[in-house]
Amino acid sequence: MGSSAGLLRTGTYLGALMAAAANATFFKTGASTTGLHHLSFFLLITSSLLLIITLLDRSLRRIGQPS
């Protein structure tokens, strides 16, 4: 239980750091429509990569099956 809580907290911190870095990168001079479009494109690519990695992970097929 303790290690899963630690991993959850670590993931939360890493996500917050990445979100702050993305906001700083795409909204350098303030919020704009162009920056929002670039941020959404970045998020689309990032989420697509994470989906592909998850779908290609063969170890997930063993979850829930008897050993």
Q: Mean pLDDT in each 10-residue stretch from start to end of the chain (67 residues)?
A: 85 95 94 95 95 91 80
Sequence-separated (6 or more) residues with CB below 8 Å from residue 6: none
pLDDT of residue 63: 82
What's the pLDDT at 36? Answer: 95
pLDDT value, residue 1: 66
Structure tokens at 45: 């690519």
Global model pTM greater than 0.85: no
Q: How far apart are CA 26 and CA 29, in angstroms?
A: 9
